[in-house]
Chains A and B, each alone.
Chain A
């Protein structure tokens, strides 16, 4: 028996492959080369991120030379206090925060798109960012905080509570009997509108100063990066990413269809719950620390899919790295596009993201 295959000339009628062992060797070589190529791509992305972080670290409005910056990094006590502050409290946390936020949003988006079987799923499009913005606006405009949380953390803490709440609501909907992935996505879109409306309501009653603060918050900016926040987000990435990678085979099978995955022994509701829990931690932390950063969570998985295919052993880390790279480059652009001005990173990523977004919508191959 033979399946017509246009790319090859018709082989013998009984079997397309006359000698399986020879063919097996050939396929194995091709497959190994493919795996090596994918590892290579991940390596190149890692190198690009390192380069971008260096660029992000060296370029900026302070006018310090790269050598002075590196000297400050290595010998913080030998330079002026001002220079030390620029390097240690501004440049380094910004550059590293960009990487962590990008990685967190990239991984969160990748897992979301897989478990919800939707190419448009991301923390931004399903309401996590909008929920965080509402939490932040409660803190900024109404001054509502969580008891015991210090002033420096109150905006982030409020944003986190609402962001994680929104993912838990998505999770609850996905657990309902008979709720398909389409239902979850629609519910997420409803969340976006609901939280946007609530934020607008608060803006309507806000005084001028608070309004300005909130508008700036929703633009998303890495200038909010501090070491404790960076540590927390980095720790979350380090803990959560291995858990995601461990589920890589199951998630790959899930991509072939929910029913098929179940028939192959994958406990689909459990895998989905686990993924949404990881998504909630990563995206809620990232968004609550830096504000609304659109599109990275949506675009990074699509780029990773094009580059690496959908074997989640590569797709998940790839998505993380693409996210980190896009964020880091956005951070460079945000600080250097206009001389002397740091444009909120959220604006830059959105502008970079829109062409990708349109390209995906107009050419939906790979995930349909």
Chain B
């Protein structure tokens, strides 16, 4: 049964500093894009990494009812993949090869609906509109292009949950919206869980379905974006005075008036 991604009693500490203490969050819904919001150092990336099983953490993470901690590390990353904020390095390797390598990383390759691994890799590049970069070297690409390659690498592993740490950070406006469109479409089509760390509140309020706001490792609010992104929560989270207005086309828009 597809019940989504649920994290319970998550505790993470770096040395003596406690970052997350008995945090319960989710379930992040299947087929929808969710966002983790909050100021720098609020524990968003830490939570994402803990859910992916990277680094040391305590707690239970279940995906569609299955306890992920019971899986081996390699199996876990097949089901639930984390995409780090850092871009893929500028390596002298072709984009196509980098996707093949990502697929082979755990000595297991996802079954392709049709064709072989090369077809699968090309399809994935096409999903992100970069099929024409297939034979280019990674060290010739721009930051934004590498970020798209990183997304294609992750989705190409056909995970059940996609955990993305600021996947839009290196992208221009056009590609931010385009990637969000692709992620919404693929998340729904594949019936997977997508959770991403976001800083752009307008993208969150317009293009995600479930948002969690964190501050200092605590949840300020969780739920549908219109319920979560409100003047009150924004003040409590970011110490700002902000409004959520409806624009002339009826879409929500976050406007910041100043510091509170």
Residue contact B105 to A266, C-beta cutoff 8 Å: yes
Q: Which residue of A lies closest to B94 (CB)?
A: A309
Contact present for A20 and B131 (CB under 8 Å): yes
- Counted as pairs of residues, one from A and one from B, with CB atoms less than 8 Å apart, the total is 143
Segment at the B interface, from A8-16, A54-62, A229-237: A8-16
Number of interface residues of B (CB under 8 A): 60
* Minimal beta-carbon separation of A278 from chain B (angstroms): 18
Say yes or no: is B83 at the interface (Cβ < 8 Å to chain A).
Answer: yes
The listed residue (A7, A16, A255, A262) touching B93 by CB distance below 8 A is: A255
Question: Does B78 make an interface contact (CB < 8 A)?
Answer: yes
Q: Is B208 part of the binding interface, using a Cβ–Cβ cutoff of 8 Å?
A: no
Say yes or no: A20-B123 contact (C-beta < 8 A), given A1-B129, A31-B135: yes
Question: A260 to chain B: which residues have CB within 8 Å?
Answer: 83-84, 86, 88-89, 150, 153
**Complex formed: what's the CA distance from A23 to B144 in Å?**
23
Is A263 in contact with B132, judged by CB distance below 8 angstroms? Answer: no
Contacts of B131 in A (CB 8 A): 15-17, 20, 23
Residue numbers in A under 8 Å from B144 (CB-CB): 3
Q: How far is the CB of A272 from chain B (nearest CB, A)?
A: 15
* A353 vs B118: C-alpha distance when bound (angstroms): 39
Which of B105, B122, B179 sits near A250, CB closer than 8 Å? B105
Contact (Cβ within 8 A) A257 B135: no
Given A309-B93, A366-B92: A264 and B137 interface contact (C-beta under 8 Å): no
Give the residue of A31, A255, A267, A367 whose beta carbon is less than 8 angstroms from that of B118. A31
* A residues 1-37 in Cβ contact with B at 8 Å: 1-3, 5, 7-8, 11, 15-17, 20, 23-24, 27-28, 30-31, 34
Evaluate contact between A5 and B133: CB separation under 8 angstroms: yes
A261 interface contact, C-beta 8 A: yes
Per DSSP, chain B at the interface is helix
Q: What 11 new A-B contacts, CB under 8 Å, besides A1-B179, A263-B83?
A: A15-B126, A16-B131, A31-B94, A31-B135, A252-B101, A253-B105, A255-B91, A256-B88, A259-B54, A260-B84, A260-B88
A residues bordering B, Cβ < 8 Å? 1-3, 5, 7-8, 11, 15-17, 20, 23-24, 27-28, 30-31, 34, 249-250, 252-253, 255-257, 259-267, 305-306, 309-311, 365-368
Chain B positions within 8 Å of A, measured between CB atoms, are: 52, 54, 73-74, 76-78, 81-84, 86, 88-94, 96-98, 101-102, 104-107, 115, 118-119, 122-123, 126, 128-139, 142, 144-145, 148, 150, 153-154, 157, 174-175, 178-179, 181-182
- Closest 10 CB pairs between A and B? A265-B77, A1-B178, A1-B129, A265-B106, A249-B104, A16-B132, A264-B105, A259-B84, A252-B101, A263-B82
Q: List 18 A-B contacts (CB under 8 A).
A: A1-B129, A3-B142, A5-B132, A5-B133, A11-B132, A16-B129, A20-B126, A27-B96, A31-B135, A256-B93, A256-B138, A259-B86, A266-B106, A309-B92, A310-B91, A311-B93, A311-B101, A366-B139
